């Protein structure tokens, strides 16, 4: 907990429940969970200078969104109901060509508010003007792994430019020395980055010991083009360049075959499943969850950007993931609620390197308090079932990140300013793009 002077303070959450057990949670001044007990003892509780009344709530670890483009919140509803390549080529990329750093700042602030409201405190982001995204995450008080989206289109000069932009972002984020913000590298996809670009990114990420964030095998066209142009499937192209590592998060992965899944498992690569975006863009195949699990690949959850989702609510994503897999496999036992929740908490948080994703002593206090007294939690036969199948992010009342309260009883300080600036930035962006098109 941080007071108005910016000093860290120990804090106590009273009156909440973990898995049906009434508890109090003590958080020390470093933002770590110090104790969880029915009643915290007198001497320990006297350390707590701040008390959060959690009565009528369920305490859970917050959620981790492992694939998004946060500032695309400004593009929400700008282009819907199109196929992926037309959507990118005709609508999204022309608009993004008019983006400014200020747009990315306000778009990312807006995204952070939306994520906090729905219980997400860690995300994996790929976009442009990422120094501004880092500033926004810093101000919002949550956690992120940020990368510059590298696209060289096989062009030498573009590649040099993207290399410089990648290095500048990594240097800038490392210079911030903020443990909540990490740099990564971001090859957009095998169809937008040359083999030379991929090899440079792999070597650079290894030397800096940072993550790799990439779109992979999202559409059948991507796989067919890769095979036609290089004789290899997309995962093999990434692997040949050295981009499949245990620091890699590969988003989508809808068109993997079983051998691709085994390759990802051998390399220790994590997959980010983005079911809402995949269905909206109609990629025509569900990520092969059973093959990935059988191979031993960690599977996490992402929303993708707001232009293809169109929100950042991971509660919705858990439900959509569970339903899509059951439907695609014609098997109601596939992806049960417990697995959907683990994907969004434990596996996602670990993949981003922000802790175990568990609400236990010694871990960062990334905690959400969920309203118990709402229809979606009435009755509460099985808490996990309610979280995955009944609730959406609207049930989240209070959120802490590293012990700092970022939303209390539905109130996020500074929200109105962010909404006003993001609305203005979105309108100006669309106007600039229309002027450009004339």
Ligand X SMILES: CSC[C@H]1O[C@@H](n2cnc3c(O)ncnc32)[C@H](O)[C@@H]1O
Query: Can you give the length of the chain in residues?
Result: 438
Q: Is 126 in the site for ligand X (CB under 6 A)?
A: yes
Pick from Zn ion, ligand X, none: which does 28 bind, CB < 5 to 8 A by kind?
none
**Of 124-132, 237-245, 355-363, 408-416: span binding ligand X (CB under 6 A):** 124-132
Q: Which of ligand X, Zn ion, none interacts with 149 (beta carbon under 5 to 8 A by kind)? A: ligand X
Write down the H helix ranges in 69-191.
Answer: 84-86, 93-96, 101-117, 130-140, 156-176
In the chain the first and final C-alpha atoms are separated, in Å, by: 51
Return the number of the residue (24 or 304) whose C-beta is nearest Zn ion.
304
Interacting residues toward Zn ion by CB under 5 A: 304
> Around Cβ 154, how many Cβ atoms within 10 Å?
12
The reply to whether 125 sits near ligand X by the rule CB under 6 A is no
To the question of whether residue 215 is assigned a binding role by annotation, the answer is yes
Those residues whose C-beta lies under 8 Å from the C-beta of residue 336, and which sit 6 or more positions away, are 322
When the beta carbons of 205 and 308 are compared against ligand X, the nearer one is 308
Minimal distance, residue 389 CB to ligand X, in Å: 26
Distance in Å, CB of 124 to Zn ion, minimum:
10
Nearer to ligand X, 95 or 400 (CB): 95
Residue closest to ligand X, measured at CB: 149
Which of 23-31, 85-93, 312-320, 392-400 is the region at the interface with ligand X (rule: CB under 6 A)? 85-93
Which part of the chain contacts ligand X (CB under 6 A), choosing from 89-97, 173-181, 194-202, 421-429?
89-97
Q: Which of 151, 190, 320, 406 binds ligand X (CB under 6 A)?
A: 151
Q: Are 44 and 27 in contact (CB under 8 A)?
A: no
The least CB distance from residue 29 to ligand X, in Å, is 38
Residue 158 is given by DSSP the state: H
Whether 36 and 23 have beta carbons less than 8 Å apart is answered as: yes
d(CA 84, CA 87): 5
User: Are the C-beta atoms of 410 and 403 separated by less than 8 Å?
Assistant: no
Tell the smallest beta-carbon distance from residue 390 to Zn ion (Å).
28
Kindly determine how many residues on this chain lie close enough to bind ligand X according to the rule CB under 6 A.
17
Residue 69 assigned ligand-binding role: yes
Q: Which DSSP helix (H) or strand (E) runs through 279?
A: helix 275-280
**Residue 192 C-beta: closest distance to ligand X, Å:** 8
Q: Is 218 in the site for ligand X (CB under 6 A)?
A: yes
Query: Quick one: which of 145, 156, 243 has its CA closest to 198?
Result: 243
SS3 helix, strand, coil % of the chain, rounded to 5? Answer: 45, 25, 30
Window 249-308: residues binding ligand X (CB under 6 A):
277, 304-305, 308
Look up residue 296 and give its DSSP letter.
T
| Cis amide linkage into residue 216, ω under 30° from 0 | no
Nearer to ligand X, 88 or 320 (CB): 88
Q: Tokens at residue 299, please? A: 């599977």
Residue 158: HSE in the Cβ half-sphere, 13 Å Cα cutoff: 12
**96 belongs to an annotated ligand binding site:** yes
Nearest residue to the partner Zn ion, using Cβ:
304
CA atoms of 277 and 428, how far apart (whole Å): 26
The least CB distance from residue 329 to Zn ion, in Å, is 24
- Which residue ranges are tagged as binding site for substrate? 96, 188, 218, 304
Instruction: State the binding site.
Output: 67, 69, 96, 188, 215, 218, 304
- Give me the residues that bind ligand X (CB under 6 A), please: 69, 88, 92-93, 96, 126-128, 149, 151, 188, 215, 218, 277, 304-305, 308
């Amino acid at each position: 907990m941080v007071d108005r002077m910016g000093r860290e303070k120990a804090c106590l959450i009273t009156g909440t429940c973990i898995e049906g057990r009434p508890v109090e949670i003590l958080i020390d001044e470093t933002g770590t969970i110090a104790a969880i007990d029915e009643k915290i003892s007198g001497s320990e509780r006297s350390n707590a200078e701040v008390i959060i009344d959690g009565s009528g709530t369920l305490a859970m670890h917050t959620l981790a969104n492992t694939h998004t483009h946060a500032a695309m919140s400004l593009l929400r509803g700008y282009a819907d109901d199109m196929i992926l390549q037309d959507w990118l080529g005709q609508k999204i990329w022309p608009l993004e060509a008019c983006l400014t750093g200020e747009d990315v700042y306000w778009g990312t602030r807006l995204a952070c508010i939306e994520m906090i409201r729905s219980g997400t405190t860690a995300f994996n982001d790929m976009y442009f003007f990422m120094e501004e995204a880092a500033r926004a995450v810093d101000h919002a008080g949550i956690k992120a792994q940020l990368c510059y989206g590298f696209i060289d289109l096989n062009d030498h000069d573009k590649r040099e430019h993207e290399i410089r932009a990648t290095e500048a972002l990594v240097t800038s984020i490392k210079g911030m020395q903020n443990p909540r913000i990490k740099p990564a590298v971001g090859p957009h996809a095998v169809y937008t980055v040359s083999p030379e670009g991929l090899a440079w990114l792999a070597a650079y990420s290894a030397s800096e010991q940072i993550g790799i964030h990439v779109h992979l095998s999202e559409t059948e066209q991507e796989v067919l083009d890769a095979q036609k142009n290089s004789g290899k499937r997309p995962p093999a192209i990434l692997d040949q360049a050295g981009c499949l590592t245990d620091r890699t998060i590969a988003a989508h992965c809808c068109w993997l075959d079983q051998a691709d899944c085994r390759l990802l498992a051998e390399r220790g690569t994590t997959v980010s499943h983005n079911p809402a975006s995949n269905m909206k863009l109609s990629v025509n195949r569900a990520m092969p969850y059973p093959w990935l699990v059988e191979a031993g690949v960690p599977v996490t959850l992402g929303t993708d950007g707001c232009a293809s989702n169109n929100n950042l609510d991971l509660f919705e994503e858990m439900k959509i993931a569970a339903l899509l897999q059951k439907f695609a496999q014609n098997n109601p036992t596939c992806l049960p609620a417990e697995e959907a929740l683990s994907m969004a908490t434990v596996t996602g948080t670990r993949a981003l390197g922000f802790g175990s994703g568990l609400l236990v002593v010694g871990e960062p206090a990334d905690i959400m308090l969920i309203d118990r007294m709402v229809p979606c939690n009435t009755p509460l036969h099985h808490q996990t079932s309610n979280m995955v199948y009944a609730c959406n992010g609207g049930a989240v009342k209070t959120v802490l990140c590293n012990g700092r309260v970022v939303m209390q009883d539905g109130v996020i300080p500074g929200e109105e300013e962010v909404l006003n600036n993001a609305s203005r930035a979105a309108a100006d962006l669309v106007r600039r793009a229309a002027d450009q098109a004339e």
